[in-house]
Amino acid sequence: MSFNFLRGPSNQHLELSRLLWAVSVVAGIGFAGAHLWLDHAFSIIEFGTGMALLMAGGGGATAIKDTASARVAAGASSGMGAGQ
């Protein structure tokens, strides 16, 4: 199984925000299944809303970081310094 979707643009290391996204999806499915098995009440809508807000913040932060590192890499490859 390939875990490339959990890696950043450089594909060299796992990124925490993408790893937490995957864990939250598995947790939501696991909680729903466990509560169905145990006959407890579980609202996937409430869980999903909370996780969506958390993931939107993490996704925004990841996008900002990826954009900044792409600009730095583009500047370095064109011979410009990071501050120019």
Instruction: Identify residue 51 by its one-letter amino acid code.
Output: M
- Give the whole-angstrom CA distance, residue 41 versus residue 3: 33
Band the pLDDT of 54: cuts 50, 70, 90: confident
Residues in the chain: 84
From residue 59, give the alpha-carbon distance in Å to each of 1, 19, 38, 46.
24, 12, 33, 20
For a pLDDT cut of 90, what percent of the chain falls above it? 0
For a pLDDT cut of 70, what percent of the chain falls above it? 76
Angle between helices 16-38 and 44-77 (to 10 degrees): 170
Residue whose pair of structure tokens reads 């590192």 in the numeric block: 69
